[in-house]
Structure 1
Amino acid sequence: MHSRETVTLALRLSAQGLSDRHIAARCGVSVSSLRRWRASTDRALEQPRRSTCPRCHGQPLDLPSYAHLLGLYLGDGHIVRCRRAVYQLAVQCDDAWPGLIEETAQVMARVMPQSAVSRRRRRGCTEVKSYSKHWPCLFPQHGPGLKHQRPITLEGWQQEIVDAHPGLFVRGLMHSDGYRGVNRVRHGERCYAYPRYLFRNESRDILALCGRALDVLGVAWRHNKRNELSVARREAVALLDLHVGPKH
């Protein structure tokens, strides 16, 4: 008799597409047991299930958390199709910011509360992920290839959410693909230091979405480089601190 934790791990690895022999060796189970568990799960999936998708089934959606997660996804997230038409949403977080890892997991769980959230350690980062058949419903920007190689536009219902919660959307973008740091400038013998925000992304569309949200917040910004925008004025940084703040 195997523990529930072993069965859950084996089925999760199977959903990721790993071979039965690899899973059996990793979990210390037989291939026949794995196939029996999977068949039982498949039969259960054929039964009518409780509606779970805010878009397909009209379930309530945590709008502030969605705006936050959308920013995280556009900054450093991706969606992958797994077995049985199940999709994995994953956001990579630098291990230097444990608070960001925990915050990402909490936001992901609030957006899709019926789906468990897990963490996977990689070199220098932690991948926060969740499985659901309906992640593409909530993130229609999902598609083949890198984000900067295809158009990224928000649908009307997404833009309404972002316009209602621009601070959380920018927080997701800044904490995934940006940062708050100190800029030092020397004029002759004098050195000046001031805080600023930078957001870097190769997608011009995502940069434009960030700029629009900053405009809604009333935060002054400018293009610092081709693939980067900057918030550096003292009053603008102070205003953005109310919504974003440094990573932790």
Structure 2
Amino acid sequence: MYDMATRKRALSLVAQGLSLNSASKETGISRSAIRSWQACIEPLPRIAGAPMRDTPADPAAYAYLLGLYLGDGCLSEHPHGGHQLRVACADAWPGLIDECRTAITKVHPQSKVYSLQRQGYVSVTSYNRSWPVLFPQHAPGKKHLRQIALQPWQQSIVGEFPWGFIRGLVHSDGCRITNWTTRLIGGARKRYEYPRYFFTNKSDDIRRMFTDALDAVGVAWKHPNAWNISVARRASVALMDAHVGPKY
């Protein structure tokens, strides 16, 4: 993320007549970032209390879409300017594909949504100049190789709709599975099955966002290995079932 002074300097260089290439070389900031700031006119972060140029039309849907974006989403430059939001949804979960399309429409009703079939998945895609404003985590490089942090206005939405955010993260990089073990009951060994949730992401920051949200709603979790978060306690699984559920 770049502070306001850095953004203003880059935009001022362009305003003075430098090309995007020259401004990028001068500041070390990507051309796509500078172009997105130009499109937004008044880039985030904003002065406290000032309204944003673009805000989610439906904050609850945005919390869910933010989870999807952090897991399986990205922004890419459009050849004619602006950006495309793309969320990869596996063919195995047609309900997830529909929910993703619905969430995008609710967040930005003016944007058209397209489903582009790829090998093994559907890329749910929408073009709008506002996407870099609504998803300021966009930057060059893979998410797990750079810092990811929510803006205060995003954190406020997640705080108000934590289950939507959790559901989006689980629908992108999580799953609900059934484990089993055996127990000796009355002298006989019987099979015992129990459900659990997993969330897997290489980004320490995104895993922390997930566990912070779980803490906020009272879900107990464990960190069994480097990239995984596990929810296995019966009461916590019941909470997850009530608000998240398996993919479909």
Using the size of structure 2 for normalisation, the TM-score is: 0.75
Q: Measured at CA, do residues 247 and 142 of structure 1 come closer, stay the same or move farther in structure 2, by a change above 3 Å? A: same
Which of 108, 124, 132 is the aligned partner of 1:128? 124
Candidates 181, 186, 190, aligned match of 1:185: 181
Distance 1:91 1:67 in 2: 15
Distance 2:191 2:56 in 1: 52
CA distance in 2, matches of 1:136, 1:69: 14
Q: Pairwise CA RMSD of aligned residues?
A: 1.4
SS at the partner of 1:89? strand
- The answer to whether structure 1 residue 202 and structure 2 residue 202 are counterparts is yes
Equivalenced residues, count: 194
Q: Does structure 1 residue 78 correspond to structure 2 residue 74?
A: yes
In structure 2, what is the equivalent of residue 52 of structure 1? none
Q: Structure 1: how far apart are the matches of 2:174 and 2:111?
A: 28
The letter of the residue matching 2:72 is D
User: What's the counterpart of residue 57 of structure 1?
Assistant: 53
Alignment gaps of 5+ in structure 2 = 1-50
User: CA shift at 1:237, angstroms?
Assistant: 0.4
SS of residue in 2 equivalent to 1:195: strand
Listed as ranges, the matches of 1:160-171 within 5 Å are 160-171=156-167
Distance 1:99 1:60, change over 3 A: closer
SS of 1:85 mapped into structure 2: coil
CA displacement, residues 104-152 of structure 1 (integer Å, 9 cap, x when unaligned): 0000111111010000000111010100011010000001111000001
Deviation at 1:84, TM superposition (A): 3.3
Q: Which consecutive residues of structure 1, in runs of 5 or more, have no partner in the other structure?
A: 1-54
Matches within 5 A, 1:1-248: 56-57=52-53, 61-186=57-182, 189-248=189-248
Q: Distance in 1 between matches of 2:55 and 2:229?
A: 36
What is the DSSP-based 3-state SS (H/G/I as helix, E as strand, rest coil) of the residue aligned with 2:123?
strand
Please report how far the alpha carbon of residue 85 of structure 1 lies from its aligned counterpart in structure 2 after TM superposition.
Answer: 2.5
Q: Cα offset for 1:183?
A: 1.0
**AA at the equivalent of 2:78:** C
- Aligned-partner residue type, residue 237 of structure 2: V
Quick one: distance in 1 between partners of 2:80 and 2:118? 26
Relative to structure 1, the CA distance from residue 59 to residue 102 in structure 2 (aligned partners, 3 Å threshold; closer, same or farther) is same
Q: Which amino acid aligns with 2:88?
A: Q
Distance (whole Å) between structure 1 residues aligned to residue 200 and residue 94 of structure 2? 21
State the shift of 1:56 in Å: 4.2
Stretch deviating more after TM superposition (188-197 or 83-92): 188-197
**Residue 170 (structure 1) shift:** 0.4
Q: Quote the Cα distance in structure 1 between the aligned partners of 2:67 and 2:135.
A: 11
- CA-CA distance at 1:187 after TM superposition: 5.0
Per-residue deviation, 1:184: 1.5
Shift of 1:191: 2.9
**Alpha-carbon shift at residue 60 of structure 1 (Å):** 6.0
